[in-house]
Amino acid sequence: MAFFLKKIMEFLPKEIKKYSENHTEKEPLLLKKLNRETWAKVMTPRMLSGHIQGRALSMFSKMINPQNIIEVGTYTGYSALCLAEGLTKSGSLHTIDINEETTSIAMRYFNKSEFSKKIHQHIGNGLEIIPKIDCNFQLAFIDADKENYSAYFDLIIEKMDINGYIIADNVLWSGKVVNNQLDNETKALDEYNMKMMNDERVETMLLPIRDGLMISRKIR
């Protein structure tokens, strides 16, 4: 069992992962500290976006230069800090999570960052909170409970501007989406992936970064 768990956590061969990291912009110091603390103190640190995916999220955000971002699944705040790097000068990021233990770590790092006044934390059920946020978004990141991905999308798409992007994490789910028999979480992710392909409001690509990022652009 230990060997199996170790293997599913290795998304890329170690040599390729190291080479990719060496040829990717380095983590800002604050994110490096958050990365280290998460792996040292928090259960399931694998949930952290990490260096390469974090720089990818930062790059997407900088390309889009959004006024407003919504994130479902704060965890310890790493991805939110990456996404915030691309906000406009007056922009804001709304991040939602139900876990007060991990969000307390996120809050500490948000307060230490240059984005402290731009990041707004919401603690509670995302399905209840999303409709109450009174603004439109140009970028969204979904990385919460997998069985509600489709429900989060249905709420968020109504608040997205045309040409806005919705990014969903873990859509490959350690490769389990291609198994013959799917557990509930994997089935929900597979259904989300198919939903993106069939929804005429978006154009979609599945990018096999780390555990899979589904990139969907609202076109109508």
- Examine residue 2 and state whether it is found in any structural domain, yes or no: no
- Examine residue 1 and state whether it is found in any structural domain, yes or no: no
- Examine residue 3 and state whether it is found in any structural domain, yes or no: no
pLDDT of amino acid 5: 35
pLDDT of amino acid 181: 84
- Number of structural domains found in the chain: 1
Half-sphere exposure in the Cβ direction for 49 (13 Å, CA): 32
Q: How far apart are CA 107 and CA 153, in angstroms?
A: 25
- The whole-number mean pLDDT for each consecutive block of 10 residues of the chain, a chain of 220 residues, reads 41 83 94 95 84 95 98 97 98 96 96 98 97 97 96 98 97 88 92 96 93 95
Query: If residue 33 lies in a helix (H) or strand (E), which one and from where to where?
Result: helix 29-41
In single-letter form, the type of residue at position 72 comes to V
Half-sphere exposure in the Cβ direction for 168 (13 Å, CA): 30
For the whole prediction, is pTM greater than 0.85? yes
In single-letter form, the type of residue at position 86 comes to G
The residue range of the domain holding 19 is: 11-38+47-218
pLDDT of amino acid 61: 98
The three-class DSSP label of residue 140 is strand
Look up the CATH number of the domain holding residue 84. 3.40.50.150
- Examine residue 210 and state whether it is found in any structural domain, yes or no: yes
